[in-house]
Chains A and B, each alone.
Chain A
């Protein structure tokens, strides 16, 4: 007798039919989760992240010191993380999509390295180039310090785009497309004058999140 034969045959009821049916549906769901796409990327959550990034850009634009500018964007990163995490959990729960197994796990693992690199770079700038008095000073001359700070918007956009693109391999097509556009925005930010950094942040973390958030929400269930 085959051991993998489901136990729903009339003459051999090893378990109750209802329980066996539940087990079969669970098996089908798990198999599909392993092979399908991660669909719990939150559209409306992305819109909320975009709106908060737009507000952060407006506040950051008014800052006169690098320290306060960095503080605004660090706070915005935390707000975005909370919004994104909550919205993803909520969508996964509503659509019965497993978050920490199958494609959901691959999505998170694909996103994480690039985000961690972004955190490390930011800490390096914040920890070593913003002194205890909250004044911005250079370790090796003002030219180096200014250069490293002005690179941040481009680097953040590039890293976020890289993470979203690699994670998006396991999700719907709009997600890696959004990641590519983030990388393109980041590359342009690196080439553009440093003073435009905040504008590129607003266009990327604000604009792209809102546009793709609406598209994902309309096409992929919220």
Chain B
């Protein structure tokens, strides 16, 4: 085994941080990202942007709501039910933490 190969072999693997399981899921991450950029959004707008089914979006939005990461406001728009989602401070902090963890992971795995 050459020196270079040996050096590569003994380099410690980068440790993967403990991600917030609520954020660390593609659909929920998409919802948080969309709300972070677009402010308050309706259920229909989120569904269109993220290309999700009603059921899929409902399930994941509920998990975010239960975690306190998004606030939900239900109303009627000329007899049509309307649901608005907005990122809470807690959700914004969770997304920021997740982004920091991702950045740190990229830094750790970047070749010296």
Contact = CB atoms under 8 A, between A and B. Distances in A.
A34 B35 CA distance: 11
Size category, B interface: 20 to 34
B109 A16 contact: yes
B102 interface: yes
Contacts of A6: 24-26, 29
Interface in A1-53: 2, 4-6, 8-10, 16-18, 21-22, 24-25, 27-28, 31-36
Contact of B102 (A16, A25, A35): A25
Contacts of A25: 99, 102-103, 106
A42 B34 CA distance: 24
Given A28-B99, A32-B36, A35-B49, A21 B105 contact: yes
A5 B25 contact: yes
Size category, A interface: 20 to 34
Contacts of B108: 18
A21 B109 contact: yes
Nearest to B31: A31
23 contacts: A5-B26, A6-B26, A8-B16, A8-B24, A9-B16, A10-B16, A17-B105, A18-B14, A18-B108, A18-B110, A21-B103, A21-B109, A22-B106, A25-B103, A27-B29, A27-B30, A28-B33, A31-B30, A31-B49, A32-B33, A35-B33, A35-B38, A36-B37
Interface of A: 2, 4-6, 8-10, 16-18, 21-22, 24-25, 27-28, 31-36
Given A4-B25, A6-B26, A8-B16, 5 more contacts: A4-B26, A6-B24, A18-B14, A27-B30, A35-B35
